[in-house]
Structure 1
């Protein structure tokens, strides 16, 4: 830049004032700012409360008696809210009552720092027009006790103010002429129900109609000195406040750290939950007035059985005062609530064993998931929380003891052959398909350093089904597979307990999962991310082997079957058909399994009759005999054993195979 050269001056901006469509603004704010017209009642009672607080701050020696009374007149379709607070002068009516977004309460809070004042945005009075055709305010200021003024407006866009006789005592009376669709609010029973919820924590008494007892005449257990049984007082409050369920126990919320001043009460609800059921029920009060009736997101996601009430002065409301801003105070309260629930459950387990047993019985499924979300809860619940098993609900410790030091889990979605096996072994089996059972027991096994047997997994199957002492010859394995296994089943010779159980069919859970996710409808039922993970997991199996038929070589029946086959006994085919029918019938009794072949139950039942006929063909003299031709059934279709090599060439009849 050359010396002496000066930049050109910046152009002067042509600033204009933003135009406001007052009618549209009033309509939006009055009609759409709030989720329910009931909020208008809350806002007007809140204004009355702040008027009392203002009068006490401005005239601390005035000795006025605070009181709020709400009346309904169904015949006139009106609701009135009257207070004995500070009242308004005529300039204050113009400056605050009739100016959108300007409120004396906010100014007073900034000047005095008083935390009892509730209003913040100068919008509360506007809510009256969401339910009323006409709003009238008759007021006398405590500063000018001899003057009275009446504000009147229809719709909120235009208003008038006129002098009237002063009220007997300073304060204000707001009268709403209700819109037709909100005429039901003039019923005093409805008013009493709504205001009991909204005002239960307000320190100023709120009356409805000519009632002599205020709706908020409820002892608040976390306020004032403790008298009598604290737990009993908490239970009474929880029972009065809970909307859907009775409380099983109740415990306090106390301030925790500098970022939250919240106090209140939490309780365990006596309402059945299962896994992902969400019955969280939390009400939040800001400076004594209900702010949110459903603040469940403040509670941890696993606490679907918790209800509660919280009050705070630090939380920041949204403009509608029906929700909270997600700021540091909000997050601090979330942490405090989680800690309070965990501490409360510990206190219940230690001091109130009867209530603790009821909680475990009612919310066992939820608590299994909760234990996985919080290490402190897992420590508390590991040995107490019930786990669903084939023998009813048992603790993990009882499962471990009954399993000889191992915890047994079925991975399938039904009892199936897993349950049949465990019943034969007289070992309870945990239902791993139920909510949180499998991960909970896996973690328990790590904590208690015990074995875990997951039937249906490769490791679990290896532990239960031991390899035989000597492998079967290929010819015998092939004959057994043809005689006993259906399509999709793989015969696996093994040794397992108890010896009285000759065989057991175990579905391949990976193949079962693969079949489900490859279903044409899978994409519609399973989120895409979960579907990709599941397909990656099942990529290692081709799905052809849907179940493994473990044959118990330690079973006497199987040993006799093999002996009959090796000697060429013709009864071997009949005995094999009997075992095959037994397999199908056991499967039908245990329930269908999505991964295992179903088998033909009708043919299996017929096969039982065929085998019995064949095995009883040689009867004592004088008894009727069976026909030479046996009825159709599975045994006739089974492969015969090797030909008889006796020197006389005679066949071995069925009667000789009866003892095979």
Structure 2
């Protein structure tokens, strides 16, 4: 810096700043109630710290719909004239933040000195009447419209504490409705320690009873479960809990998790997490604190060490946030692991309602896999089966179909009386793969060259036999492959090449619009190794007596029989599979003509 450089002070456009902070800091006007109740709560905490005299802590919120007003009154420390000027009327400076910085927080919530600005968001006029415990004979009245300027005058003293009167804007008069106000208080303030009353001090506090994890006395299991279920009902509107899991471990949080009773599928995400910091709601959508696989769970978490954003509507993603997420995941895993032993009936309901979601969970966590490996069911062509049953039925070789419909696998394996796993369902293929990796066996992915090779071992035949099969049964783009498989009564199986289908989809211009350049490049590296010329393989069973007859005789009957065999293969192929184009009408027509020729009857068209 040169000697001639000027040192200047940054200027603040106060009207502009007040507009931004008062009207844009918060996403919803309802937070004004939260912020003002928070200020009242902190004032009571401050009085406990600084005033040795006994007092009755209370916060009273009085909606006044007739006058379009909302009144928040507390029995806290109150404010002196100097404190009004220094803290209340100075943006970004708060007495609570000063106490917390000094290590004297005692459950104080506020920090930034911005909460009072929310009053100007919803009001055309804000009045504050206060008497400090430090000068109980003097009262003060603060009044402002808009927040940029204010009046301050001495008034007769009132009981120690503060009363804030909001004369609401027409747009936000609903905040003065008792029902609306009560719902918001129960939403934001239900975990505050100081009693919060609606309308008058004689009404029952809206933040009672306390959350289950604050209960000191030992309770019978049935009663504690009832208390926990009643607590969950205050936060879970769509589902009922199957079971509850109190937050465990030495992490920074306390709270309660639960498993929802609604049926879920792999992509279902009903995670429902509310987070409270120092008793005040910060977020009702903190779903990222639950593992991604836990789409069937909810929770209420209280963690004083979490750091809210300035608007107190979200949380900073810092090391404490990660520690809470780890604590939540640990509670879920250990809690689910204990359920079969402690609550077998609840465990059976969890398995029944969330089987598919748990397939993904088991792959994501080793302990869950060990718990679930032999209890979860995978979708197969013969219904849902556990892995022990599937392994027994398939002799240790797990066949997985990656097709979108019921194709050749259903025909072939039904004849073999062997189930096929529906690999397109969420979690099925990874779960089977992990199970085989841990418990032994083999996964065969049908519709791929490698997978089909385990079913259909190619048989070397003479060029003349190959030419005969090609002539009788071949189609353009389809390879005719001589092989042997069971049962012998099944003469042919038409298998779409799903790898070739993938290659075709990737290379279509339309795919370029949906896939990013980087992902498209990776996909093309894979599909470059795939020969897309052959779109399907017709496996011909040389053990079939029909095929044997076709190879050894070449009369009119055999040629008609070949038409029947080919039509049979076409009609048993799912039209959604791969690139195989099946003209069902033509196949039925050819089948009818061939059968009529075989039985020696003329074909007639009906019109």
Q: Which band: TM-score by shorter chain?
A: over 0.9
Q: In the alignment, which residue of structure 2 is the partner of 1:577?
A: 563
Residue 305 of structure 2 aligns to a residue whose secondary structure is coil
Shift of 1:10: 7.5
Deviation string 1:596-622 (CA, Å, 9 cap, x unpaired) is 4222211221222222222222xxxxx
2:155 aligned with 1:172: no
Q: In the alignment, which residue of structure 2 is the partner of 1:536?
A: 525
2:442 aligned with 1:456: no
Deviation string 1:466-506 (CA, Å, 9 cap, x unpaired) is 344xx433223222222223222111111112222211111
TM-score for the superposition, normalised by structure 1:
0.87
Q: In the alignment, which residue of structure 1 is the partner of 2:487?
A: 498
Shift of 1:149: 1.6
- Cα distance in 1 for partners of 2:525, 2:187 equals 52
Q: In the alignment, which residue of structure 2 is the partner of 1:638?
A: none
Compare CA radii of gyration and give the structure with the larger one. 1
- Cα distance in 2 for partners of 1:115, 1:386 equals 51
Deviation string 1:506-531 (CA, Å, 9 cap, x unpaired) is 11121010111112210122233332
Q: In the alignment, which residue of structure 1 is the partner of 2:128?
A: 137
Deviation string 1:151-210 (CA, Å, 9 cap, x unpaired) is 11000011112222222x311111111112111111111111111111111111112225
Q: In the alignment, which residue of structure 1 is the partner of 2:46?
A: 54
**Residues 26-45 of structure 1: pairs in structure 2 closer than 5 A:** 26-45=18-37
- Cα distance in 2 for partners of 1:415, 1:10 equals 80
- Cα distance in 1 for partners of 2:516, 2:373 equals 32
Q: In the alignment, which residue of structure 2 is the partner of 1:375?
A: 366
2:381 aligned with 1:390: yes
- Cα distance in 1 for partners of 2:350, 2:234 equals 20
Shift of 1:541: 2.3
Shift of 1:44: 0.4
Quick one: structure 1 residues 146 and 255, their matched pair in 2 at CA, closer, same or farther if it must change by over 3 Å? farther
- Cα distance in 2 for partners of 1:247, 1:477 equals 64
Quick one: structure 1 residues 426 and 244, their matched pair in 2 at CA, closer, same or farther if it must change by over 3 Å? same
- Cα distance in 1 for partners of 2:124, 2:422 equals 62
- Cα distance in 2 for partners of 1:337, 1:94 equals 44
Shift of 1:131: 0.9
Segments of structure 1 that go 5 or more residues without pairing to the other structure are 1-8, 618-625, 633-660
- Cα distance in 1 for partners of 2:226, 2:450 equals 52
Q: In the alignment, which residue of structure 2 is the partner of 1:356?
A: 347
Q: In the alignment, which residue of structure 2 is the partner of 1:612?
A: 595
- Cα distance in 2 for partners of 1:160, 1:254 equals 52
- Cα distance in 2 for partners of 1:604, 1:208 equals 77
- Could you tell me which of 231, 239, 247 is aligned with 1:245? 239
Count the aligned residue pairs.
Answer: 601
- Cα distance in 1 for partners of 2:232, 2:168 equals 34
- Cα distance in 1 for partners of 2:491, 2:604 equals 26
- Cα distance in 1 for partners of 2:538, 2:332 equals 49
2:265 aligned with 1:279: no
Residue 222 of structure 1 aligns to a residue whose secondary structure is helix
**Contact preservation (8 Å) 2:494, 2:570:** no
**Contact preservation (8 Å) 1:396, 1:407:** no
Q: In the alignment, which residue of structure 1 is the partner of 2:586?
A: 603
Q: In the alignment, which residue of structure 2 is the partner of 1:316?
A: 307
TM-score for the superposition, normalised by structure 2:
0.94
Deviation string 1:363-413 (CA, Å, 9 cap, x unpaired) is 223222222222222222222222122122222222212212221111222
**Residues 285-304 of structure 1: pairs in structure 2 closer than 5 A:** 285-304=276-295
Residue 521 of structure 1 aligns to a residue whose secondary structure is helix
- Could you tell me which of 525, 533, 536 is aligned with 2:514? 525
**Contact preservation (8 Å) 2:405, 2:577:** no
**Contact preservation (8 Å) 2:293, 2:357:** yes
- Cα distance in 2 for partners of 1:68, 1:544 equals 78
- Cα distance in 1 for partners of 2:328, 2:485 equals 51
Residue 498 of structure 1 aligns to a residue whose secondary structure is coil
Residue 157 of structure 2 aligns to a residue whose secondary structure is coil
Q: In the alignment, which residue of structure 1 is the partner of 2:193?
A: 203
Shift of 1:287: 0.6
Deviation string 1:531-581 (CA, Å, 9 cap, x unpaired) is 222211111223111111111122232223333x2xx33210011111112
- Cα distance in 1 for partners of 2:169, 2:245 equals 43
Residue 572 of structure 1 aligns to a residue whose secondary structure is helix
Shift of 1:221: 1.1
Residue 301 of structure 1 aligns to a residue whose secondary structure is coil
Aligned-pair RMSD on alpha carbons? 2.0
Residue 534 of structure 2 aligns to a residue whose secondary structure is coil
Shift of 1:255: 4.6
- Cα distance in 2 for partners of 1:384, 1:548 equals 37
- Cα distance in 2 for partners of 1:486, 1:192 equals 74
2:324 aligned with 1:333: yes
Q: In the alignment, which residue of structure 1 is the partner of 2:334?
A: 343
Shift of 1:112: 4.7
**Contact preservation (8 Å) 2:249, 2:331:** no
Shift of 1:456: 1.6
Segments of structure 2 that go 5 or more residues without pairing to the other structure are none
**Contact preservation (8 Å) 2:124, 2:145:** yes
**Contact preservation (8 Å) 1:231, 1:251:** no
**Contact preservation (8 Å) 2:252, 2:323:** no
- Cα distance in 1 for partners of 2:2, 2:328 equals 57
Q: In the alignment, which residue of structure 2 is the partner of 1:592?
A: 575
- Cα distance in 2 for partners of 1:488, 1:15 equals 80
Quick one: structure 1 residues 234 and 527, their matched pair in 2 at CA, closer, same or farther if it must change by over 3 Å? farther
Residue 565 of structure 2 aligns to a residue whose secondary structure is helix
